[in-house]
Amino acid sequence: MKNTKGFKITTIFLDNNLLTPNNSNHYITKDEAMSNIKLFESEGLEKYELLTFNKVSNGGFVELNEWVGGSPDGFIKPGLVECKCPKYSTQIDYLVEKKLPKIYEKQVQGQLYVTGAKWCDFMCYHPKLKPLIIRIERDEEMIKEIADKLTESIEKTKQLIKLIS
């Protein structure tokens, strides 16, 4: 676990249970953790609306074609909003770093590709900490890489389907 500016926060998984420092010896299951994330996501999107004065429309599922689609958390014309609800220690790391976490770069650019949106407000939210909101513009070079990989994967999948049909 990273030690960020003097903070030492740990989360431990034991036999599919989660031990969190905020709850001392209270264990929650991974399913409960996922349920909390969904709840926090709704709270996060409400907080986003309050902070930005943007009205967020439900993301839903957007099809680029019969093979490719995406489901952004919300739409704000002409952009998107993607809300992540990391654990406490991860939120602290994101607040310190103040940039889009590398693990989400392709997801965000993929959402921009699929929807045609001009930008994405990437938000990280934890109810006990301040939120992080970063506007991410389209990266046409990365989007081309994503499109090329998708085209390659679709072709391989079509060949496999033809082979086993």
User: Is residue 134 over pLDDT 60?
Assistant: yes
Question: SS3 of 165, please?
Answer: coil
Domain parsing of the chain, residue ranges: 41-164
Q: pLDDT: is 33 or 121 the higher one? A: 121
**Close Cβ partners of 52 (under 8 Å, ≥ 6 residues apart):** 76, 121, 133
Between CA 61 and CA 45 the distance in angstroms is 17
pTM of the model: 0.77
Q: Please, are residues 133 and 122 in contact by the beta-carbon 8 Å criterion?
A: yes
Q: What is the pLDDT of residues 55-72, one digit of tens each?
A: 999 878 999 999 999 999
Q: How many CA atoms lie within 13 A of 46 on its CB side?
A: 8
Under CATH, what is the fold of the domain 41-164?
Lambda Exonuclease; Chain A (3.90.320)
User: Would you place residue 36 in the very low, low, confident or very high pLDDT band (cuts 50, 70, 90)?
Assistant: low
